[in-house]
Amino acid sequence: MLSLSAAEIEELNKKVQFGVLGKAVYERTYSRIKPNGEKETWPETVLRVVNGNCNLVPERYIEAGEREKLFQLIYQFQAIPAGRSLWVSGVPGRQFLFNCHNSSWTEDISGHFTFLFDELCKGGGVGSNYSCRYIQHYLPVQNRFDLHIVCSQNHPDYLSVQDKLSTKFSADWTGSISIEDSREGWVQALKTLLQYFWSEPFEEREVIFDVSNIRAKGSRIKGFGGIASGPVPLIVMLQNIAALLNARYSQKLTSLDFMLLDHLIAACVISGNVRRSARMSIKSWKDPDILDFINCKLDESSHWTTNISVEIDDDFFKAWKKGNKHAKTVFNKAVEAMLTRGEPGFWNRSLSQVGETEPERIESTNPCGEIALQGFENCNLGHINLAGFDDEQQRQEAFRLMARFLIRNTFGDILNKRQKEIVSRNRRIGVGFFGYQTWLVKNGIKYSESHHNQFVIHSLKKYYQVVRNAVREYAFALRIPEPVKVTTIAPTGTIALLPGETTGIQPIYTRYGIRRIRYADNDPQLTEFAPQDIEQDIYSATTKAVKFYYKDRLVEIAEHLNFDVKDLVEQQDEIHLADMLSVQAMIQDVYADNAVSFTANILPGSLTKKEIKGILLSYLPRLKGTTIMVDESRPQAPYERVSAAEFEKHNGLIGHGNLECTNGACPIK
Check which CATH number belongs to the domain holding 150 and give it. 3.30.1620.10
In this predicted structure, what is the pLDDT of residue 653? 64
Per the structure, the complete domain to which residue 230 belongs is given by 139-252
Q: Side by side, which strands form the sheet with 177-178?
A: 146-150, 206-210, 177-178
What was the pLDDT predicted at 408?
98
Sign of CA dihedral 42, 48, 54, 57: negative
Question: Is pLDDT above 50 for 258?
Answer: yes
Asked if residue 577 has pLDDT above 90, the reply is: yes
pLDDT class for 634, splitting at 50, 70, 90?
Answer: low
Number of C-beta neighbours around residue 92 at 10 A: 8
The pTM assigned to this predicted structure is 0.89
What local confidence, expressed as pLDDT, does residue 663 receive? Answer: 39
Angle at 294 (CA atoms; ends 509, 576), nearest 5 degrees? 30
Contact 508, 657 (CB under 8 A): yes
Q: How many residues does the chain have?
A: 669
Number of domains into which the chain is organized: 1
Q: How far apart are CA 6 and CA 522, in angstroms?
A: 32
Does 157 map to a domain? yes
Give catalytic status of residue 296 as yes or no. no
Which helix H or strand E contains 100, and what residues bound it?
strand 100-102
Pairwise CA distance, residues 608 & 617, whole Å: 14
Rounded distance between C-alpha atoms, residue 22 and residue 17, angstroms: 9
Specify the pLDDT at position 18. Answer: 94
177 in a domain, yes or no?
A: yes
The predicted structure's pLDDT at residue 633? 52
| pLDDT over 80 at 637, yes or no | no
Which segment of 82-96, 104-118, 148-162 scores lowest on mean pLDDT? 82-96
Q: Which has the minimum average pLDDT: 12-21, 61-70, 444-453? A: 12-21
Amino acid at 647: F
Please check whether residue 155 is in contact with residue 216, taking contact to mean a CB–CB distance below 8 angstroms.
yes
Those residues whose C-beta lies under 8 Å from the C-beta of residue 526, and which sit 6 or more positions away, are: 519, 534, 544, 546
pLDDT, residue 276, reads 56
Residue 227 has pLDDT above 90, yes or no: no
- Mean pLDDT across 257-286: 85
In terms of pLDDT, which residue wins out, 387 or 274? 387
The SS3 of residue 431 is strand
For 627, counting Cβ atoms within 10 Å of its Cβ (0-12 exposed, 13-18 middle, 19+ buried), the class is buried
Whether residue 553 is predicted with pLDDT greater than 50 in this model: the reply is yes
> Is the pLDDT reported for residue 661 higher than 60?
no
Please report whether residue 556 resides in a domain: no
pLDDT at 298: 87
Q: What is the pLDDT of residues 320-356, one digit of tens each?
A: 999 999 999 999 999 999 998 889 999 999 999 999 9
**E strands present in 438-552:** 512-520, 534-536, 543-552
Could you give the CA distance from residue 447 to residue 568 in angstroms, rounded to a whole number? 8
Confidence bin at 519 (pLDDT 50/70/90): confident
Q: Are 500 and 555 in contact (CB under 8 A)?
A: no
Q: Which of 44, 311, 370, 377 is catalytic?
A: 370
Confidence of residue 225 (pLDDT cuts 50, 70, 90): low
Answer yes or no: is 185 within a domain: yes
Query: For the segment 103-142, what is each residue's pLDDT rounded down to a tens digit?
Result: 999 999 999 999 999 999 888 899 999 999 999 999 999 9
Inside any domain, residue 596: no
Average pLDDT score over residue span 13-33:
90
Residue 169 lies in a domain: yes
Helices and strands counted in the chain (H then E) = 25, 21
**Domain presence at residue 517:** no
Q: Which amino acid is at 41?
A: T
Catalytic residue among 100, 121, 268, 368: 368
- CA dist 5 and 532 (Å) reads 43
pLDDT band at residue 660 using 50, 70 and 90 as cut-offs: very low
Residue 432 lies in a domain: no
Residue 157's pLDDT is 92
How far is residue 487's CA from residue 429's CA, in Å, rounded to a whole number? 7
Residue 226 has pLDDT above 80, yes or no: no
**Cis peptide before 344, with omega less than 30 degrees from 0?**
yes
With bands split at pLDDT 50, 70 and 90, how would you rate the model's confidence at 550? confident
- Check if 363 is active-site: no
Give the residue among 548, 502, 518 at the shortest CA–CA distance from 667: 518
Average pLDDT, the chain: 91
Q: For residues 508-527, give the mean pLDDT.
A: 86
